[in-house]
Amino acid sequence: MAGRGKLIAVIGDEDTVTGFLLGGIGELNKNRQPNFLVVEKDTTINEIEDTFRQFLNRDDIGIILINQYIAEMVRHALDAHQRSIPAVLEIPSKEHPYDAAKDSILRRARGMFTAEDLR
């Protein structure tokens, strides 16, 4: 399985996406489809959910970065994703700093150990 490169996808606000594109992760595949989505004020939740599901189904995407406030909007789609790959990472945005209580992954472990116990 090693060797075949996978991409890092981004779903975020304009600043986040711009930053990561400058970091070098952006790509258009054969069908001119991008591996990122810029979420603006008028982007509908359906659009975000559709793009997220598309990214999940593409087998050339290994990691999906998503701003936490956007993750909140499509929380149900995130929670339904049980596979280990692609990995979904929630990142903070300029206006919304990172909140560990809302993270899907950490909530799965909530039953066993709480974050405070281990700190």
Partner 1 sequence: MSGKDRIEIFPSRMAQTIMKARLKGAQTGRNLLKKKSDALTLRFRQILKKIIETKMLMGEVMREAAFSLAEAKFTAGDFSTTVIQNVNKAQVKIRAKKDNVAGVTLPVFEHYHEGTDSYELTGLARGGEQLAKLKRNYAKAVELLVELASLQTSFVTLDEAIKITNRRVNAIEHVIIPRIERTLAYIITELDEREREEFYRFVGIGS
* Chain residues in the site for partner 1 (CB under 8 A): 1-8, 14-28, 34-36, 38, 62-63, 65, 82-85, 87-89, 91-94, 97-98, 100, 103, 105-106, 108-109, 113, 115, 118-119
User: Which residues on neighbouring strands pair with residue 89, listed in sequence order?
Assistant: 65
User: Of the two residues 14 and 45, which places its CB atom closer to partner 1 in the complex?
Assistant: 14
User: Of the two residues 35 and 51, which places its CB atom closer to partner 1 in the complex?
Assistant: 35
> Rg (Cα) of the chain, in Å, rounded?
15
Q: How far apart are CA 104 and CA 32, in angstroms?
A: 31
Q: How far apart are CA 8 and CA 86, in angstroms?
A: 9
User: Of the two residues 80 and 115, which places its CB atom closer to partner 1 in the complex?
Assistant: 115
Sign of CA dihedral 8, 12, 16, 21: positive
